[in-house]
């Protein structure tokens, strides 16, 4: 069995997907439709504007569009049907688009709104995320309960790496305590938004209105939920997932465990960079991993 997985924020770089854009008229047409829906030129940002590309509201739609179009050309040429789809954080929107639950125009628009709301959720400097390396997630959970202020697990990325998120002072205090409790490293992340923390709950209510106004379909291929690490396919459960997704932790370890326990032997990471491949290797060394990022990768697959 095969699964396709899609990357989240942090995988972006200027020029991603350019070879596919240059080679296929249908890719350029989808770019044009998306730009029209957004009311600005996302294509220009992806290929030429690093500063804007690294702002959350542009990063999210840029990665989704790029990953989806790489998938589309790969699928047109190789026609491999996966048993499951999954995405890391933002990547779940890509997975739902590939599953036929959302149109590409609506998915890109939703992630632009999502990124914009996240960017404005917490004043600059008031939120922080940090990667905790080399400490068991259960131990991290215990320690966080003892810290004053908001600090929570945002991403269960691998057995070795857990990301925490919340108020700047609370996250800094947690980093100190976690190092004293045996963490090998506690590394602040270069993001201004405390993603997947309860600090985003208010903005999530606003995002819920956009979800309700967007047409969804049942997923044709089961998508593994970031929140529960179980498959979702029905419109209502997908909508509820995306409303809570904003402030809920990403259970990537549990997602990879689910795939491995349910017969998946090969995982394709489709999209820019190879971040998820690195995480999956650390979670389960028995899975065969393949990367589809460039036209060359598609030809070689």
Each residue's pLDDT, cut to its tens digit, for the chain (301 residues) gives: 999 999 999 999 999 999 999 999 999 999 999 999 999 999 999 999 999 999 999 999 999 999 999 999 999 999 999 999 999 999 999 999 999 999 999 999 999 999 999 989 998 889 999 999 999 999 999 999 999 999 999 999 999 999 999 999 999 999 999 999 999 999 999 887 899 999 999 999 999 999 999 999 999 999 999 999 999 999 999 999 999 999 999 999 999 999 999 999 999 999 999 999 999 999 999 999 999 999 999 999 9
Res 24: pLDDT: 98
Helices marked H in the chain — which ranges?
18-23, 25-38, 42-48, 50-53, 56-78, 91-98, 104-121, 137-144, 168-180, 201-212, 235-245, 252-261, 275-283, 295-300
CATH architecture observed for domain 2-121+198-300 = 3-Layer(aba) Sandwich (3.40)
CA gap 209, 202 in Å, rounded: 12
CA gap 243, 103 in Å, rounded: 18
Domain ranges of the chain: 2-121+198-300, 127-188
- The domain 127-188: what is its CATH number? 3.30.70.250
Provide the 3-class DSSP secondary structure of residue 104: helix
Residue 204 and residue 211 in contact, taking contact as beta carbons nearer than 8 Å: no
Let me know if 79 is a catalytic residue. Answer: no
The side-by-side arrangement of strands in the sheet containing 288-292 is 231-232, 223-224, 84-87, 2-6, 266-270, 288-292
Residue 113 and residue 207 in contact, taking contact as beta carbons nearer than 8 Å: yes
Res 19: pLDDT: 98
pTM exceeds 0.95, yes or no:
yes
H, E, C per residue of 227-254: CCCCEECCHHHHHHHHHHHCCCCEEHHH
Res 239: pLDDT: 98
Query: Residue with structure tokens 């504007």?
Result: 49
Catalytic residue among 11, 89, 165, 197: 89
Res 191: pLDDT: 81
Catalytic residue among 196, 197, 245, 248: 196
Let me know if 31 is a catalytic residue. Answer: no
């Amino acid at each position: 069995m095969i699964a396709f997985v899609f990357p989240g924020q942090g995988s972006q770089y200027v020029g991603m997907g350019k070879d596919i854009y240059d080679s296929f008229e249908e890719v350029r047409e989808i770019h044009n439709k998306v730009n029209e829906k957004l009311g600005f030129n996302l294509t220009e940002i992806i290929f030429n504007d690093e500063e804007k590309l690294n702002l959350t509201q542009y990063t999210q739609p840029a990665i989704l569009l790029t990953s989806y179009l790489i998938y589309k050309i790969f699928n047109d040429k190789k026609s491999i049907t996966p048993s499951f789809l999954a995405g890391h954080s933002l990547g779940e929107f890509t997975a739902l688009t590939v599953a036929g639950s959302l149109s590409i125009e609506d998915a890109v628009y939703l992630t632009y709104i999502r990124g914009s709301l996240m960017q404005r959720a917490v004043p600059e400097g008031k939120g922080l995320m940090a990667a905790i390396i080399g400490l068991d997630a259960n131990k991290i959970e215990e320690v966080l309960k003892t810290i004053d202020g908001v600090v929570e697990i945002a991403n269960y990325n691998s057995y070795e790496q857990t990301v925490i998120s919340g108020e700047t002072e609370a996250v800094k205090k947690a980093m100190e305590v976690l190092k004293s409790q045996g963490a090998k490293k506690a590394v602040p992340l270069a993001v201004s938004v405390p993603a997947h923390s309860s600090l985003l709950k208010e903005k999530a209510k606003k995002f819920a209105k956009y979800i309700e106004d967007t047409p969804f379909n049942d997923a044709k291929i089961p998508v593994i939920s970031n929140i529960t690490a179980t498959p979702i396919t029905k419109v209502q459960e997908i909508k509820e997932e995306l409303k809570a997704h904003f402030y809920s932790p990403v259970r990537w370890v549990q997602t990879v465990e689910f795939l491995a326990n349910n017969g998946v032997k090969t995982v394709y990471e489709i999209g820019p960079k190879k971040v998820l491949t690195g995480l999956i290797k650390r979670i389960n060394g028995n899975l065969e991993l393949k990367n589809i990022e460039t036209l060359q990768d598609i030809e070689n697959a």
